Structure 1
Amino acid sequence: MAEKRKRLEPNLDLSLKSPADPEEPSNKVLSLDEAIDFELKHGYVDPDMDLKKLRRIISNRLSAQRTYIKRNEYIVELEKKVKDLEDKLAIMTPEMENVKGRNKMLRLEAKMLQEQLDISTNIYELRTEQMEEMKLELRRLKELEKALKRKS
């Protein structure tokens, strides 16, 4: 029984690919009519098989082959994206480390400049305070001089 069934089902392993150049792998899937004609022409199926059953079997196999091809193309595309991203990462990682180092250096420089600014601001405030004190002292001395001149 299994032997009879095996004999009735077509061997479609190689027949679904385009017969133009068997050496070159092809992603072209034959149309249903082309695949049926190819199967019948090359004797892969029993010519007495019900055409409706043959069409359904070949249609299912063609659909499976299209799905397989699409999935493989998608995988190849994803692998290419992964490689591109890995290449980009390989380029960007040293660049990022360089930028991080430069950032650290700039932060230290900014901190140093802020400290210098704080020191300069403190010195300015101190000198301004001293100047105000001196002005007050000068005014007091001038008033004292005027008072002494009035008394003398």
Structure 2
Amino acid sequence: MEDGACSLTKEGQQKTEKIAKRLLDLGLHFELIATSPLVRARQTAEILKGVGLSSQIEECKYLAPDGDIFNWLKNWLEPKKYSPNTQIALVGHEPCLSSWAEILIWGEARARLILKKAGMIGITLPETSSPLGHSQMFWLTPPKYLL
């Protein structure tokens, strides 16, 4: 588990800002950036907001390294009742986020998706059924392709 007090390095900040600007150039925008409470994740979320990818950040304890997707769905996502087209960016940690993506797509974690630091997985949740095992991945990009 990572040290929750560690900050992004200068290089990490610059890399994240370049990638965030590239995502903005590609036309991405999020209604909300939900972030882990850990320092580096929070700094990453602030960079995403700072380049204009969203105007809102919300800290979400479920995105911390010990977070659980089932608690996140039940206690954070479902009660918010977002419209089907809502785009939310989740800023968290590995291997949690790629495992969450696999559970949403395949119904179980398979340790097949690799998400590098500053990488991105795009997932569409279904409108009418449980997202577990019924979601669709539309984007998996390592950071090197966005720099």
TM-score range, shorter chain: under 0.3
**TM, length-normalised to structure 1:** 0.19
Structure 1 or 2: larger strand share?
2
Structure with the larger RCO, 1 or 2 (CA within 8 Å, 6+ apart): 2
Higher helix share: 1
TM-score (norm 2): 0.20
Greater Cα radius of gyration, structure 1 or 2: 1
